[in-house]
């Protein structure tokens, strides 16, 4: 009986030993397989950090204003007698725009002219009478004073009549008007807008620390969303003589030729001032930089190692950088990388420090210093 029990235990030990040995051997082979396996790489695109010449620019937003522009209005009240213009047409300085009814004022002017003529005749006659001592000096002086008064009244009435004829104060383009003959206009009623558009002003504000970089005659470029992709060139013509106390900004005026009358007063515009000589900057596409609350980082592909089979591995190393100005799709890097470094330009969101990468540069993100919209 004991011998039979011993035999059964021996058989059970052999069976379990075989099972455990098989499992141990399987684990060993699996570990060896994993040890020889290469971790899959992350596909990324890369770009070489290169130095480019950048023209320093100061960016601002501003408003466009006509070199000369007014809302033409009547100085005195009256009824419209005639309208001499059409909305949207060009006029020259002095062209008649509108007449108010001046019949009563003209009649009064004629009365005053007649009185002035009579006072002049009396004065001339009394001067001759004074020469023969027929009248006193006091009479001649009174006649002279009466003549001056009547002439002044005549001039005053003539000025009133002239105010009933509205003329263009300068050459320019008229806007839209809804004034019609027979309409009564209160004093100061807007008749039509008149704008001189051959020269347009761009008014913008810059922080006071930029004052040393500004000068009369500096070139500026103006763009507006009304004309996508178009750039209008002008020059700085005036810098205000004081800094705004509330904002510490300085008011700057640029003059922009506008012979085509494409830019209109009141438009919003983006302004760039060319400030100083072109400077070399180390540049990267903006897509290559990851912006974080703790700083900006990029991934540099510069670590080369070999796996257990001797194959070459490319690894990405995360590094902090200091960025400067931006220009289109690009930005300048002031610190953190050097020229010639291979930097990951897309796909870095899948990386961590030391990740194995596979480079595929067939598709690259935008890297244009002056991109323009493209209709798809």
Are 281 and 51 contacting, i.e. CB atoms less than 8 angstroms apart? yes
pLDDT 10s digits, 38-80:
456 788 999 999 898 887 888 899 999 999 999 999 999 999 9
pLDDT of amino acid 33: 43
The residues facing 373 across adjacent strands are none
Give residue 221's pLDDT band: very low, low, confident or very high (50, 70, 90). very high
Q: What does CATH list as the number for 102-163?
A: 1.10.287
The CATH number of 42-54+279-359 is 2.40.420.20
Which CATH number describes the domain made up of 58-67+196-274? 2.40.30.170
Which of 78, 83, 72 is CA-nearest to residue 179?
83
pLDDT in tens, 161-184: 999 999 999 999 999 998 999 999
pLDDT tens-digit map of 188-201: 999 999 999 999 99
- Is the separation of the CB atoms in 250 and 209 below 8 Å? no
| Residue-range domain boundaries for the chain | 42-54+279-359, 58-67+196-274, 102-163
Q: Average per-residue pLDDT in the chain?
A: 86
The answer to whether residue 22 scores a pLDDT higher than 50 is yes
According to DSSP, the residues that pair with 285 across neighbouring strands are 330
- Reduced to 3 states, what is the DSSP secondary structure of residue 299? strand
pTM > 0.85: yes or no: no
CA nearest 84: which of 165, 142, 24?
Answer: 165
Element (H, E) at 119: helix 103-131
Percent of the chain with pLDDT over 90: 59
- Give 205: exposed, middle or buried? Use CB within 10 Å, 0-12, 13-18, 19+: middle
If one compares 13 and 330, the residue with the highest pLDDT of the two is: 330
pLDDT value at 34 more than 50: no
């Amino acid at each position: 009986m004991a011998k039979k029990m011993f035999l059964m235990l021996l058989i059970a030990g052999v069976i379990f030993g075989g099972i455990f040995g098989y499992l141990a051997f399987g684990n060993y082979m699996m570990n060896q397989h994993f040890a020889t396996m290469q971790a899959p790489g992350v596909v990324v695109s890369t770009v070489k950090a290169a130095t480019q010449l950048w023209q320093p620019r100061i960016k601002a937003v501003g408003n466009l204003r006509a070199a000369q522009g007014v809302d033409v209005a009547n100085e005195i009240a009256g009824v419209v007698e005639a309208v001499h213009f059409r909305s949207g047409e060009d006029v020259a300085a002095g062209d008649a725009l509108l007449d108010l009814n001046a019949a009563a004022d003209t009649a009064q002017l004629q009365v005053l002219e007649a009185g002035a003529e009579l006072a002049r005749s009396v004065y001339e006659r009394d001067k001759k009478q004074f020469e023969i001592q027929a009248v006193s000096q006091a009479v001649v002086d009174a006649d002279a004073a009466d003549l001056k008064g009547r002439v002044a009244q005549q001039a005053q009435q003539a000025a009133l009549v002239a105010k009933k004829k509205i003329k263009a104060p300068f050459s320019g383009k008229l806007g839209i008007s809804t004034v019609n003959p027979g309409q009564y206009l209160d004093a100061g009623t807007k008749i039509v807008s008149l704008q001189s558009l051959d020269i347009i002003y761009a008014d913008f504000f810059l922080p006071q620390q930029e004052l040393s970089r500004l000068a009369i005659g500096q070139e500026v470029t103006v763009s507006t969303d009304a004309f996508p992709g178009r750039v209008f060139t002008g020059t700085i013509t005036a810098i205000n003589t004081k800094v705004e106390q509330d904002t510490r900004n300085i008011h700057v005026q640029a003059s922009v030729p506008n012979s085509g009358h494409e830019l209109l007063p009141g438009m919003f515009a983006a302004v760039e001032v060319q400030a100083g000589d072109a400077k070399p900057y180390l540049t990267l596409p903006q897509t290559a930089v990851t912006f974080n609350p703790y700083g900006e980082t990029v991934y540099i592909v510069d670590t080369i190692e070999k796996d257990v089979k001797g194959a070459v591995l490319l690894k990405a190393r995360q590094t902090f950088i200091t960025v400067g100005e931006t220009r289109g799709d690009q930005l300048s890097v002031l610190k953190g990388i050097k020229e010639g470094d291979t930097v990951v330009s897309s796909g870095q969101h899948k990386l961590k420090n030391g990740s194995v990468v596979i480079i595929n540069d067939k598709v690259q993100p935008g890297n244009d210093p002056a991109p323009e919209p493209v209709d798809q």
